[in-house]
Each structure stands twice: as structure tokens, then as C-alpha cells.
Chains A and B, each alone.
Chain A
Amino acid sequence: MTTEKTAGKVWVFGDDIDTDALAPGLYMKGPLEELASHCLKAIDPNFAATVQHGDVVVAGVNFGIGSSREQAVEALKYLGVRTLVAKSFGGIFFRNALNFGMVAVVSADVDRISPGDRITVDAASGTIENLSKNETYTCEILPPQLLAMVRDGGLVEHLEKKRAQAQLKDAGQ
């Protein structure tokens, strides 16, 4: 299960990485495995093949701008990415990321993070620790309501939990 504090090796991308780069329209009707193999191919042809479970994607402004297709998030998650740090996110992409239980945080200190750095991201306290450079940065805190959903693993898991709690309450009455 995802927690709000995650660590991993960094991949750095620039500004305006759009949803067509993350989930190309040509592969949208096929299986997720195939779509994910084309994730970010237009920007970095090696990314999908070499990204490791737990790696962190760090980007500039407008990461995930464009379409509402949540496969843009799902492809990254399929490839093992659980944490995203950007100067800003596309609004719909940000919601989608949290819905999939991803830790997505906004930070102005992105430029201090280099490819291959190992970082931890704590969305509850709003801190990023760069273990490779021994530096600490700040990021925006995820509000408690949204953090609770991320902690549960995403919106579907969050709703499942709420339903189970409601059923328990009903049974107890």
C-alpha cells in the first residue's frame, strides 16, 4: 500500500509534459501493458524500459497537462512510479494521481533535484529529503482529506473502506 512518505531514484523531466506524451492516443484502446511501454517515449525513449519500481518522477510546470485520460497516471503506476514532484500539475492529472493513490506534490525546489538522486517525499509534513545531496526541500502539504484517500491507496480503495465501515456500523445497530 502507498504511504504519504516514499523514497526512490529520480527521473527528471522538463516543463509541459502532456498527457499525449504520457499516454499516446494511438495506444489508448489497447491493453495497459502496451500503452505503458510507450509512456514518455517521445521525451525519453528509454524511460519505460528502464524505470524501476519505486522510482520518482520529478518535473517542471504543467506536468500531465491536457486530456482527462487517467491512463496517463495508470501507465506511470504500472511502470512502478508511486511518487511525483513537479513545479505544477495539470489540474485533472493531479486529481487522477491522488485517485490512484499516488503521492503527487508541488515543490518550487525541483531544480535542485538531479537525475539519479534518491529522495524521500513526505506529503504530510511537506518535506522532501534529497539523500544523495543531503539537502532538504519543502513541498506543498496534501490536505488531510486527500491524504486520507492516498493512504487508503486511492479513491476506489477509499470508497471500499468507507462502505465496509458503514456496513459494520449498520451491523452494530
Chain B
Amino acid sequence: MGRTLAEKIIARAAGRETVSPGEIVTCTVDLAMMHDSGGPRRVKPILERLAATVWDSDKVIVVSDHYVPAVDAESAAILDLTRKWTADNGIRNFYDMQGICHVVLPERGHLRPGMFVVGGDSHSPTGGAFGCFMFGVGATDMAGVLVTGETWIRVPGTIRIDIHGALADGVSAKDIILHLCARLGMGGAGYQAVQYTGDTISTLAMQERMTLSNMAAELGAQTGLIAPDETTTAYIRKAGGDPGDAANWQSDDDASYLATHRVEADKLAPYVAAPHSPANSAPVNEHAGVAVQQAYIGACTGAKLDDLHMAARVLKGRLVARGTRLLIAPASTRTTATAAADGTLAILTEAGAILMPSGCGACAGYGAGILADGEVCISSTARNFKGRMGSSSSKVYLGSPYTVAASAVAGRIADPRDLLESNAR
């Protein structure tokens, strides 16, 4: 019987011919990524307690992205510890304030199809877009990996999400995944693997694919795989990486899936998730008109270069509404540099957007841009849990960068297609 991509990667990492969904196996880890919040400050005491050292410092990547830049003594101390620990442990791949880990990893060419990767962050399924079995773990699990180079996994089955048709203008990968959150429910994937297939996927650029894989976390999947193709290998080469034997990392034609969900992408409208769950998603017209005090384009999910390009298409020649603030935190310093060079930043700032540092920022309530009591925000991020972005009485709606930008212009939740159509006229 055929094997899924997830089974092939896990079998290889476990040193086995085959593995079966449900069994628990021990896998060799190809790469371990952690950030300043769940990384050194949490694993250091555990390693000291075990009198252990890092198993392979070249397989460890550390990214400071949560508490950047420091805003108080505590965050400064966390960043200081992160810098000292990486130096003391010979971690060459340390990206200090260069952007959000899930975006920095592929941007710097670290991901190769077929890899078995652990990340100390729940949005680690983002690496699945590159055909890696990448999943999130907590800091103690990470410490175990750092000591042994291994971790256990219960082999997941694979849920196939088969996406067909061309997206309408103003509709993006974010809208596909919000639609899926509504359909399958938060956690609906039950910690199985998700694999995205279909002709829509073939036409999507890597950063759009990353958005789908990223929010596999909100579906409750362990990872969100996309089999590598020419788009994948071209991206990896451009990033200075090695795509390796990418063609081998595909699900077999006769692989069996737990379920297959078909999405007609050409029929999708922009989607917006109402508070307090990504699963509260519906076509934008169901929420249109809700007044917003803050519009946020940020995070690993929604502030990559392609996301800023979407926002710029809407904002060009327009102004953010009075009474609404638009905060934009590009996902990495390279994103900022490229967006500056290609004119995108000028469009955003002329529209009145406020540029923020690259980092996790307001998304998880760690950085600048958090919400006051009763405020309403529309955000290109992944989660709108109660109180996540600030006050527990604030309300966060989720949408695509197009929708967030259109809502910033209108001062209320708005359909970006109307503005894009008037661009065309």
C-alpha cells in the first residue's frame, strides 16, 4: 500500500522501512529551532540539571523574535540570556532580532524537503510548506531533543485538503485557511497531519503556501504539509539552501488518507473570523461594518513580503480612516529591506500606516500595539483568543492582509474586493 509524505519522513527519521499511524516511534531530529521565549531561558536550567551539552550545535537554530526589541528590564534580561547562551553553546545559526522564526528559517535556506524538524513554537507547521515534517513542542521537549538528538512521536494519519480553482482577486491563502477553520473547527484535525494538494496549491507562491501550513496549527494538525515542486526548489535555491532530493518527498498515488476535504477556491469570498476563535469564520459581508480602532498587519501568518504587497495594492493612493490606527510589523528585517527597495513601504506609510519592529509584537500580547478595554482590532494574525492581544474585553477579528488594509481605510470591517475593483476602473 502507498505511503503518505508524513509516513515517509517519519519512517526515514525513525530508521524504519515503514511506520503505521498510531504507533509510537523515536525519531532522529534533523533540525531544532527555538526562540527567545521558549528557548534558552527555559532549556538552560534543564541542561544544567542534567549536566548535558547540546548534541549538535549546527543542528540548532535560535531566533530572538518574541521580546524584541526589549521594552523593560525583564525582556532585556531574556534577550541577554539568549545571546549569552547561544554564544556559550556555539550556536552559529543565531538570528537576533532579524524577524520571526517561521519566516527566518526558510528565508535563510535552512529547510530542505524530507527533513524532520522540531520547533519550540506552535506555528512550527509553517515548515510543512517546504515538505518538512515540522511540528511544535514545548521547552522541556526541546531540552530533551537538545540532550539526545531524538524525540518520540505518535505517527499521525494524514487528512488531505484538496484545493481547486483560481482564487478571485482580493482572495488569498488566508481566506482559504479561515474557511477551513470554520469547516473543520478549531482542533478539527485532531493532531493528525494535514496535507494540502490540488491545482490551487501548484499556483500559489511559497509565502502563500506558508500561510496555509502555518494555520494548520489552528486546525489542530501536528503539521501542514505541501509536497515540494519547482516553486519550492526555486525558493530554497534563491535563499541559498539545498533542495536535496525534493522529488522523492511526495505522497504515493495510492496512499490512504483519514479523510479528503475538497475546497472550491474559485468560489471563495474573503473570510473574517469573529472573536474569540479562528473557527468563527464567515464571508466578510457577515461582519462588514463593524467599527475597528486598530488594524494590525503582523506576525508569521500575515506580514511576509507577499502580505505587505497585498496591503499595498489596497492602500495605494488611499488613507487610513480617522479614528483607526494601522500598525504594520513586517515579518523579518529582510522583508522590510525588500519592501523598502520595491516601493511598498512608501505606499504603506503614505497611507498613514505606522511601521513597527519585526517580531511577534502585538499578536501574542508580548510586544507593542496591545489593545485597551473594549477596543476592536482586525488583524492578519492567526489567533483571536480572548485577551490574547491585550485586554480581556478587547475583540479581535482575523482577516487577510487585503481585508485588514481595506478595513483600515474604511474604519470598519470592509470587503477588499470593492477597493481593488475601483483600482481597476
Size of the B side of the interface (Cβ < 8 Å), in residues, is 46
> Hey, what's the 0/1 contact readout for A14-28 against B, CB within 8 Å counting as 1?
001011110011101
Please tell me which one of the listed residues B49, B75, B186, B388 contacts residue A65 in the complex, with CB atoms under 8 A apart.
B186
Distance (whole angstroms) from the CB of A86 to the closest CB of chain B: 11
Interface residues of B in 179-194 (CB under 8 A from A): 186-187, 190-191
Chain B residues whose C-beta falls within 8 Å of the C-beta of A95 in the assembled complex: 137-138, 141
Whether the pair B187, A92 counts as a contact (CB closer than 8 A) is: no
Chain A CB within 8 A of B121 CB: yes
Inter-chain residue pair count (beta carbon < 8 A): 117
**How far, in whole Å, are A42 and B366 apart by their CA atoms in the complex?**
18
Given contacts A26-B365, A61-B187, contact A92 B220 (CB under 8 A): no
Chain A CB within 8 A of B139 CB: yes
Distance (whole angstroms) from the CB of B167 to the closest CB of chain A: 28
Whether the pair A92, B137 counts as a contact (CB closer than 8 A) is: yes
**How far, in whole Å, are A30 and B385 apart by their CA atoms in the complex?**
21
Chain A CB within 8 A of B349 CB: no
25 chain-A/chain-B pairs, Cβ below 8 angstroms:
A19-B122, A20-B365, A25-B364, A26-B370, A26-B390, A29-B78, A30-B74, A42-B387, A66-B122, A66-B385, A68-B124, A69-B37, A69-B38, A70-B42, A70-B139, A88-B190, A92-B135, A94-B191, A96-B140, A99-B138, A99-B144, A143-B24, A146-B152, A155-B143, A156-B46
> Hey, what's the 0/1 contact readout for A77-105 against B, CB within 8 Å counting as 1?
00000000000101110111001100000
**How far, in whole Å, are A168 and B190 apart by their CA atoms in the complex?**
41
Chain B CB within 8 A of A131 CB: no
Interface residues of B in 348-388 (CB under 8 A from A): 364-366, 370, 383, 385-388
Chain A CB within 8 A of B392 CB: yes
Closest to A73 in B: B138
Whether the pair B37, A156 counts as a contact (CB closer than 8 A) is: no
Interface residues of B in 139-184 (CB under 8 A from A): 139-141, 143-144, 147-148, 152
Whether the pair A20, B143 counts as a contact (CB closer than 8 A) is: no
> Hey, what's the 0/1 contact readout for B32-67 against A, CB within 8 Å counting as 1?
000001100010001001101000000000000001
Q: A residues engaging B (CB < 8 A)?
A: 16, 18-21, 24-26, 28-30, 42, 61-62, 65-70, 73, 88, 90-92, 94-96, 99-100, 143, 145-146, 154-156, 159-160, 163
With contacts A67-B122, A68-B136, A163-B50 known, what are 7 further pairs, Cβ within 8 A? A20-B365, A42-B386, A62-B186, A90-B187, A90-B220, A155-B140, A155-B141
Centre residue among A19, A65, A68, A69 by max chain B CB count within 10 A: A68
**How far, in whole Å, are A155 and B386 apart by their CA atoms in the complex?**
31
Given contacts A16-B186, A24-B365, A92-B122, contact A70 B191 (CB under 8 A): no
Chain A CB within 8 A of B222 CB: yes
Chain A residues whose C-beta falls within 8 Å of the C-beta of B302 in the assembled complex: none
Whether the pair A65, B187 counts as a contact (CB closer than 8 A) is: yes
**How far, in whole Å, are A160 and B139 apart by their CA atoms in the complex?**
17
Chain A residues whose C-beta falls within 8 Å of the C-beta of B411 in the assembled complex: none
Chain A CB within 8 A of B120 CB: yes
Whether the pair B152, A145 counts as a contact (CB closer than 8 A) is: yes
**How far, in whole Å, are A159 and B277 apart by their CA atoms in the complex?**
37
**How far, in whole Å, are A25 and B364 apart by their CA atoms in the complex?**
6
Whether the pair B24, A28 counts as a contact (CB closer than 8 A) is: no
Please tell me which one of the listed residues A21, A26, A28, A163 contacts residue B386 in the complex, with CB atoms under 8 A apart.
A21
Chain B residues whose C-beta falls within 8 Å of the C-beta of A146 in the assembled complex: 24, 152
Distance (whole angstroms) from the CB of B68 to the closest CB of chain A: 12
Chain A residues whose C-beta falls within 8 Å of the C-beta of B78 in the assembled complex: 29
Given contacts A62-B220, A68-B38, A91-B222, contact A18 B49 (CB under 8 A): no
**How far, in whole Å, are A67 and B35 apart by their CA atoms in the complex?**
13
Chain A residues whose C-beta falls within 8 Å of the C-beta of B38 in the assembled complex: 68-70
Chain A residues whose C-beta falls within 8 Å of the C-beta of B388 in the assembled complex: 20, 25
Whether the pair B141, A96 counts as a contact (CB closer than 8 A) is: yes
Chain A residues whose C-beta falls within 8 Å of the C-beta of B136 in the assembled complex: 68, 92
Chain B residues whose C-beta falls within 8 Å of the C-beta of A18 in the assembled complex: 383, 385-386
Whether the pair B364, A156 counts as a contact (CB closer than 8 A) is: no
**How far, in whole Å, are A70 and B138 apart by their CA atoms in the complex?**
5
Chain A residues whose C-beta falls within 8 Å of the C-beta of B42 in the assembled complex: 70
Whether the pair A42, B187 counts as a contact (CB closer than 8 A) is: no
**How far, in whole Å, are A24 and B385 apart by their CA atoms in the complex?**
10
Distance (whole angstroms) from the CB of A117 to the closest CB of chain B: 25
Whether the pair B141, A99 counts as a contact (CB closer than 8 A) is: yes
Chain A residues whose C-beta falls within 8 Å of the C-beta of B364 in the assembled complex: 20, 25, 67
Chain B residues whose C-beta falls within 8 Å of the C-beta of A70 in the assembled complex: 38, 42, 138-140
Distance (whole angstroms) from the CB of A124 to the closest CB of chain B: 16
**How far, in whole Å, are A157 and B24 apart by their CA atoms in the complex?**
20
Distance (whole angstroms) from the CB of B409 to the closest CB of chain A: 29
Whether the pair A155, B144 counts as a contact (CB closer than 8 A) is: yes
Distance (whole angstroms) from the CB of A101 to the closest CB of chain B: 10
